[in-house]
Amino acid sequence: MFIEGFTSLSLGTPGCHPGAAFYGADFRLKRDVSELFPYINAEADKPAYHEDPHSVQFMLHGFKCALYPDHLKAVAFETREEALEFFEKFSDFLNDLYARKEDIVPNYKKFQPIPVFPIFKLLPRTNCRACGFATCMAFAAALSKGEIAVDGCPDLKDASNDNARELRSMLS
Ligand code: SF4
């Protein structure tokens, strides 16, 4: 077994969504899991492998994860029980990867952030805060790091929106 349980769990509203009706969970892990980062980068859904801070982001069972050597941050949960259930699935995912390590080609390619300003220029720039960020610039910075999706801005959900199309192509 590569990973079993965690040492502590803190739940809170994510910093970028103060007052949100959901929780972000931060699980402190019992061991350093960084040896699996290139394997997660090879196999996970929507991975982004970062050098600094050393971490890998990915989606797992519909939850956004940011995994660091000794802790896992994940969003968005409605209850503590949901976060605990998710941790079981996360453990299964890591244990399965570890068991199949010899059969997986690790991916060491690091995520290349897109410059913030070209992204910002394609946003509505009204600073309406509907995305949960205080400004469009903050939303652009999060987009450039691959932390959020374009349709986090309600104005960009419309598939026929030219700026949304250009942003998706820029970030893909
Ligand atoms: S919802 Fe869109 S327009 Fe409003 S602040 Fe966020 S990025 Fe800017």
Residues contacting residue 153 through CB under 8 Å, at least 6 positions apart: 123, 124, 130, 131, 136, 139
**Strand pairing partners for 116?**
none
116-171 homologous superfamily: Electron transport complex subunit B, putative Fe-S cluster (1.10.15.40)
The CA 10 to ligand 1 mean position distance, Å, reads 29
Is 123's C-beta closer than 6 angstroms to any atom of ligand 1? yes
pLDDT score for 5: 87
For a mutational test of ligand 1's pocket, the pick from 143, 148, 153, i.e. the residue with the most ligand atoms closer than 8 A to its C-beta, is 153
pLDDT score for 146: 77
- The 3 state secondary structure assigned to 65-120 is EEECCCEEEEEEECCHHHHHHHHHHHHHHHHHHHHCHHHCCCCCCCCCCCCHHHHH
Residue nearest to atom 6 of ligand 1 (CA): 131
- Measured distance CA(153)–CA(142) in Å, rounded: 12
pLDDT score for 17: 59
Give, for all 172 residues of the chain, the pLDDT tens digit: 898 889 999 988 766 555 566 788 999 999 999 999 999 999 999 899 998 899 999 999 999 999 999 999 998 899 999 999 999 999 999 999 999 999 999 999 998 878 999 999 999 999 999 998 999 999 999 998 877 889 899 999 887 899 999 998 888 7
Domain boundaries, the chain: 6-103, 116-171
pLDDT score for 19: 59
Domain boundaries 6-103, corresponding CATH code: 3.30.310
Look up residue 62 and give its amino acid.
G
